[in-house]
Structure 1
Amino acid sequence: MKFKFYFINSFLIGLLCIQTSCFSDQSESLNSDPILNDISNPMPGGELKLVEKEFYRSIFPYSIEESVGYKITSQIHNGLLRMNPKNLAIEPNIAKSWEINDEQTRYTFHLRDDVYFHDNSCFESSKSAKLTAHDVVFSMELICGEYYNSGYNLLMKNLIGAHDFYNNKCDSISGIRAIDDTTLVLELSEPAPTIIYLLASTKASIISKVAYDMYGRDLTTGCGPFLLHQINEDSTTITLHKNPNHFLTDDQGNSLPYLNSVSFKIIRDENSRTEMFLNKESMVLSEISENKVKNLFESYHKEFDDKVFIVDRKPVMATDCYEFNLSKKPFDNVNVRKAFAHAINKEKLIRNILDGQGTIGDKGIVPKVNILKNYNYDTIKGYGYDAELAKSYLAKAGYPDGENFPEVVLELTFGHPLQEKVAIEVQNQLKNTLNISITIEEEKMSTLIDRAASGRSQMNHFTWLAEYPSPMDFLNVFYGGLENKDNASYSWPNTTRYRNDNYDKILEQALITSDKEERFKLYEKAESILMDDVPVIILWYPEVYNIRYGNIHNLFFNEMLHFDFSTTYLTK
C-alpha cells in the first residue's frame, strides 16, 4: 500500500475453521478500549463530516494507492467477506456462508440473494443490477488480469488457472466457477490459509460487469453501504449518501447504514483542519501529533473532561521508511545503501522531531505491534546508528569520505511538515557523518507515486500501512516474481525494484504453509534476506492520535486504520 500519509498493499490471513483463535488476542486488546465499546442505542440519520489532508488518486477498488482513497472506496464497495472494524475479525458479507474441503483447496461460497448494485442508468432493470456469482468471477478475472499487482499474489500463485489467464493462455480462470447465481467455487492448487483476508479486502471488492463495461476504471457504482453522491469541481469535497437498498442489518433488524451521509473535505493546512474541527465543521481530527493534543487540552480541558472531545492514541500497523531505487546509481550498490542506513541516528529523530510519538525503526519493514506479538522480531537484523561503520561501507563502495559521490535527491510529499523536518535532520546527519550532500524536493503525492513507480526517482519517504494483520502484507511489497524486469516500466507496489529470487521463493512457500508457526518462520527468513539487501531504511513505526466528538458512536480506531461507517451513528 503506498501514498503519503499512508500507502496500502492488499492481501490476506486466516481460515474459517481457525478464525476465532487467530484473532482472540487482538480482539481482547481492542475490546479493552472504552472508545471501542459503545453500547448506546443507535439513532438513524445525520452526516459524518470528515477532513483529510491528502487528495486521492482513484476510488476504483483495484487501483487504490493511498489511505484516503481506501477510506472512501471502502464505503462504496463490498467484498465477498468483510473485516469487522472493531476487532478485525472476518465476517460474512456478500457471501453469507462458506465451506472448505478437508484438503483446504476448495472454497464453496453461498452468496446472499438480496445484494444489488447502486441505482445507475447503466442498469436497464433491477434484475441487471442484482449481484450474482458471475460478477464475482468477472471481478476476480480483472484482479488476475488487467489490474494484477503483487498484492494479489495469493490468487495468482494458488488459484488454478490464474497464471495462465494472466499470460493470455486462456480466456477464463478454471479455478473459479459460478455454479449458479448464488454459489461460487474457488479451487486452489495448494492450501492457502490467508485467502480469507484477501476476499475481505476493499481491493478485492466485487464490481458489476454491466457497470464496468460502461465506465471502466471510472466506475463509482458499488454495492456498499454508501453511494457516491457528488465530487466537487476541484475534487476537494466528496459526499456519500446512504444506500437505501443496502443488504446488511443490525442485530435488531434495523437497516444499515444509520447515517444519512458521509462527507470528506480535503484540507492540506493543519491549522485549517483544527479550526474546522473546533467550529464543528468536521467531527474528527485525525492523525495528529502529541504536541497538538497537548495544546488542545490546555485550551479546551473542559471539553475533554466532559467528553465533548474524546482522544485516542494507538500504534498502527505501519512503517515509515526511505526507499531506494535499486535500478539507479548510486543505490544499485548495496554498500552505499548500508552506509546510509548506519549514518542516520533514528533515536535522535524520534526524540527531537517526533517527540517520542513512534517506535524507533530498529528492525525491519514489518512493524512492531501487539497484533503481531507472535512474530519473532529478534531474528531480524536492523540498522542502528554507527558512524564509523557507515564510513567504512561508503569507502567500500568507492566513495571514501564522500569523494566524488553523485548528486542524490530525496523526494517527499508536499505539505507534510514532519517529513520535511526529518529530511532536513537526515540531510545534516549524512553531511556530518559521510560528507555527502543530498537535495530535498517536495512533490504532490500523485507525482511522487508516478515518479517512484516509473523508476524516475532515487530516494523517497513512504509510509506503508497494513490492509490485513499479517507480516506478509509488508513483505509482499518487495515481491518481484511477476514484475516486469524492465527498469523503465511501471512497478507498483515494488517501487524499489527489488529483485531476489530466494526471497520470492520463500514468500511463495509461506503462501501455501498452513501451520502458523512455520509460516511465521518463513516470513522471518524472508525479511532477514530483505534487510540484508537493505532496499529501504526503516525510520520508525508510527503512533497516531485521533480526537473525535463524543456524540459519534461506533467509529472504531483500529491498528490498521480500517474504517467501516455502516454502523456509525450520531447523538445530539
Structure 2
Amino acid sequence: MSVTRTVATWTTAVLAAATLASCAESERDDEGGSGSGDDGTFVFGAAGAPEMFDPFYATDGETFRITRQMFEGLLGIEPGSAEVVPELATEWTPNEDGTEWTFTLRDDVTFHDGEPFNAEAVCYNFERMFDQNEAGQTAGEYWGYVMGAFSNDAENSLYQGCEATDEFEAVISISGPTSGFPTMLTLESLSMQSPKALEEGDANGIAAEGEGFSFPAYADAPVGTGPFTFGEYDEANGSITLARNDDYWGEAAQVSEVVFRVIPDESTRRQELEAGSINGYDLPNPVDWAGLEEDGNSVEVRDPFNILYLGLNPEANPQLKDLKVRQAIYHALNREQLVQTQLPEGAAVATQFMPDTVSGYNTELEPYAYDPDEAKRLLAEAGAEGMTLNFAYPTEVTRPYMPDPQKIYEALRTDLEAVGIKVKVSTASWNGGYLDNVSGEPGKYDAYILGWTGDYDSAYNFIGTFFGNLKDNDFGTDVMPWGKQLADDLKAADAIVDEDERGAAFEEINRQIMEEYLPGLPISHSPPALVVGPGVEGVIPSPLTAEEFDTVSVGGE
C-alpha cells in the first residue's frame, strides 16, 4: 500500500550499483519458449473470493493470487526470495539525479490477445493508471500509496510521465529519487495489460456503488502477458479457471490448467485435500502441520515477512485520541500467550510495525508488557474506565498473519474485558464489507484486527503504508496532532539515498511510533505455510506469499 517521496542527492556509486544490478537476466528469460508442460490440472483451495480480476483495482491477497498467474510487470521477484529480477524489462538505468529511468524491454512478448508488448504499451499502461476518475482513485489505492497522487494532482505525484523513446525502450520520469523506485514496479497492481483490451473493455469505467464499486466489463476479462490466461469464473460454485498460455515468451507452464476453488473454511480445505479434490491450499492451521505431513502431504513454511496488528480508529471513537487509553489497551493484551496458543512455531511478539529482517527495524525497542493492573490504572487516569469498543474481526478468510481470525479476536476480547473494557462485537466477511468498513471515511470500527505482508523489502512499504498518507490511512492519523509530522518524517526518510542513513532515520521513526504516538498496536509476526498433496512438485514458497504456479506439476502418489 504506500511509498511517497521527495528529492535527495543521488550518488554516482548508487547509480553504478543500480545499473549493475539491473543487468542480471532471469532464469525464465534464459529458458524462453522451451517445454510444453503436461495436461494436468492443479486445483488450489482459495481462502476467499476475488474482488475482480483487474490487478490495478485489487487490494487483497486472494485476488492477487489469481492475477499473479496471468500478469507480469516490468520487474519481477526471484521465486523464493524478495530479490528484484528482470521480467518484462531486461535492464533499467537511472540518470544522474535519479529522476528518469530508462527501461530496456523484452522484444519477444505478446499479450494474450495477440497484441504486441512494446514501449507504447508500457506508456499506455502508466497513463491509464495515472488518469483515474474519482472512484478509480479510491479503488486504485496501490497507485495512490506508491505514487502519491493521480493526474488531477500531478504536481504531488511521484510519476511524472512516460515516453517511448524506441520500440523497446521506455523512459519513466519521477519527481525525485525514493527507496521504493523502481522496486515498486514489482507490485501486482502495476502489471502490464493489453492496451487494446483495456480500451475495448472500458477499463477505467469504474463507478462508486453503495460502499463499494461497480467494475467495468474489462475487470471480468483481463488480458496480460503471463504464463496463464483467464478462462472463466463460475461465481455460483466459487471456481476460477486459468488456461496455460501456449504462446508465452518464457518456459511454458507445467500444467494445462490452474483451478482456484473458493473454500473459506480452513478445516473444509483440509478435508478436500484429504479427499483428493484439491491439490493444495494456503495457510493450513498450524496445529495440523504435523498431521498433514504424516499423511504424505508437503507443508511448505515461508519465512515471516508480515505483521498482525490491532488497528485503532480515533475518528470512530474519540477516547482513542488519548495516548494513555491506547497504552492501556496494549498493556491489557497477553500477546505472548496468543503467540503460543494461536500461531505456528516460529511466530514472535512484535515490538514495532515491521519484521526484524527489514532495514530500519529498531533493535532497542522492547515489547509492551502484559500488565492488566497498569492497563486499569491508565484507563482510570484517562477517565475511560468502563469504555466501550466497537471491536471487529473478519470472517470467511485466513491470512498469513492471522490463521484463525475468530480465535485471535476472542483471545484479545477476553483480555480487554478483563480490564473493564466493554466490547461490542462486529464482524463481516473479508471482501463482503470488512475491508470497506475498516478503510471507509471514517472507518466504522473503533478497533479491528488486520495485518500486512510486505510487498518488497522496504521500511516504507510497512510503516509508510500505514502512516505515510495522512488523508488516506486506516488509523485516522489525520485527526491526531502528530499525524502530519509522522507522514512528513516518513517521506523525508524514504528520500534518503544512503542506505545506512535511511535505516537510522527509520529506526528513530519506529521509536517515535511506539513510544510517543502508538497509532495502533503491533501484535505478532508469523511464518505462514501452504500445503500441497502427494505428487505435487515445483511449488516454491515465497516470503511475500507471492507464489507462481507455472513451475508446479501434478503427478501420481
Work out whether the TM-score is over 0.5: yes
- 1:391 is aligned to 376
Change (3 A) 1:524 1:102: same
Match of 1:267 among 260, 263, 269: 263
- 1:6 is aligned to none
For 1:464 and 1:173, how far apart are their aligned partners in 2? 25
For 1:429 and 1:69, how far apart are their aligned partners in 2? 34
Check if 1:409 corresponds to 2:391: yes
| CA deviation string 1:489-530 (max 9, x = no partner) | xx4xx2122232222222212332222111112222222233
Contact 1:410 1:438 in 2 (8 A): no
For 1:291 and 1:392, how far apart are their aligned partners in 2? 37
- 2:339 is aligned to 350
Contact 2:158 2:175 in 1 (8 A): no
Match of 2:282 among 286, 290, 297: 286
For 2:501 and 2:519, how far apart are their aligned partners in 1? 25
| CA deviation string 1:99-138 (max 9, x = no partner) | 233433321112223322212xxxxxx5xx2223222223
% identical equivalent positions: 21
Change (3 A) 1:90 1:264: same
CA shift for structure 1 position 198:
0.9
Change (3 A) 1:419 1:20: farther
CA shift for structure 1 position 10:
8.1
- 1:543 is aligned to 527
- 2:492 is aligned to 509
Alignment partner of 2:108: what SS? coil
Match of 1:113 among 107, 111, 118: 107
Contact 2:470 2:484 in 1 (8 A): no
Contact 2:178 2:496 in 1 (8 A): yes
Q: Residue type of the partner of 1:366?
A: M
Alignment partner of 2:67: what SS? helix
1:530-569 aligned within 5 A = 530-531=513-514, 532-569=516-553
Change (3 A) 1:21 1:247: closer
For 1:475 and 1:208, how far apart are their aligned partners in 2? 33
- 2:436 is aligned to 450
Match of 1:136 among 112, 122, 130: 122
- 1:53 is aligned to 47
Alignment partner of 2:56: what SS? helix
Q: TM-score, normalised by structure 2?
A: 0.82
- 1:252 is aligned to none
| CA deviation string 1:226-257 (max 9, x = no partner) | 111010032610010011222223xxxxxx22
1:2-13 aligned within 5 A = none
For 2:280 and 2:77, how far apart are their aligned partners in 1? 22
Contact 2:145 2:465 in 1 (8 A): no
CA shift for structure 1 position 50:
0.5
For 1:291 and 1:267, how far apart are their aligned partners in 2? 19
- 1:497 is aligned to 476
For 1:311 and 1:237, how far apart are their aligned partners in 2? 24
Check if 1:156 corresponds to 2:147: yes
Change (3 A) 1:324 1:170: closer
For 1:354 and 1:517, how far apart are their aligned partners in 2? 33
| CA deviation string 1:518-553 (max 9, x = no partner) | 111222222223323222222211122332235333
Change (3 A) 1:182 1:418: same
Q: Residue type of the partner of 1:221?
A: V
Check if 1:359 corresponds to 2:374: no
Match of 2:176 among 181, 190, 208: 190
Alignment partner of 1:378: what SS? coil
Contact 2:46 2:262 in 1 (8 A): yes
RMSD of aligned Cα (Å): 3.1
Alignment partner of 2:321: what SS? coil
1:203-222 aligned within 5 A = 203-215=189-201, 216=203, 217=215, 218-219=218-219, 220-222=222-224
For 1:534 and 1:67, how far apart are their aligned partners in 2? 27
Change (3 A) 1:214 1:164: closer
| CA deviation string 1:202-243 (max 9, x = no partner) | 111112332222321533111211111010032610010011
Q: Residue type of the partner of 1:118?
A: H
Contact 1:117 1:131 in 2 (8 A): yes
Structure 1 range deviating more: 376-385 or 108-117: 376-385
Q: Residue type of the partner of 1:408?
A: N
For 2:464 and 2:159, how far apart are their aligned partners in 1? 23
Alignment partner of 2:127: what SS? helix
- 1:378 is aligned to 363
Contact 2:59 2:141 in 1 (8 A): no
For 1:394 and 1:171, how far apart are their aligned partners in 2? 42
Match of 2:511 among 528, 536, 548: 528
CA shift for structure 1 position 341:
0.9
For 2:15 and 2:535, how far apart are their aligned partners in 1? 35
Alignment partner of 1:240: what SS? strand
For 2:498 and 2:434, how far apart are their aligned partners in 1? 39
Check if 1:427 corresponds to 2:413: yes
Which ranges of structure 1 fall in alignment gaps of 5 or more residues? 2-8, 24-40, 120-125, 158-162, 250-255, 304-308, 484-490
1:173-252 aligned within 5 A = 174-215=160-201, 216=203, 217=215, 218-219=218-219, 220-234=222-236, 236-249=238-251
- 2:310 is aligned to 322
- 1:32 is aligned to none
For 1:568 and 1:15, how far apart are their aligned partners in 2? 37
Contact 2:361 2:506 in 1 (8 A): no
For 2:170 and 2:458, how far apart are their aligned partners in 1? 26
Change (3 A) 1:16 1:276: farther
For 2:4 and 2:282, how far apart are their aligned partners in 1? 25
For 2:124 and 2:475, how far apart are their aligned partners in 1? 31
Alignment partner of 1:539: what SS? strand
Q: Residue type of the partner of 1:501?
A: K
Change (3 A) 1:406 1:194: closer
| CA deviation string 1:323-378 (max 9, x = no partner) | 111212232333221211111111121223336562112x111023xx43x54432
For 1:355 and 1:99, how far apart are their aligned partners in 2? 42
Match of 1:331 among 320, 344, 353: 320
Contact 2:130 2:150 in 1 (8 A): no
Structure 1 range deviating more: 388-397 or 196-205: 388-397
Structure 1 range deviating more: 173-182 or 107-116: 173-182
Q: Would you say how many aligned residue pairs link Structure 1 and Structure 2? A: 503
Q: Residue type of the partner of 2:186?
A: A
Change (3 A) 1:457 1:295: same
Change (3 A) 1:98 1:294: closer
Contact 1:108 1:184 in 2 (8 A): yes
Change (3 A) 1:264 1:10: farther
For 1:164 and 1:19, how far apart are their aligned partners in 2? 27
Contact 2:45 2:263 in 1 (8 A): yes
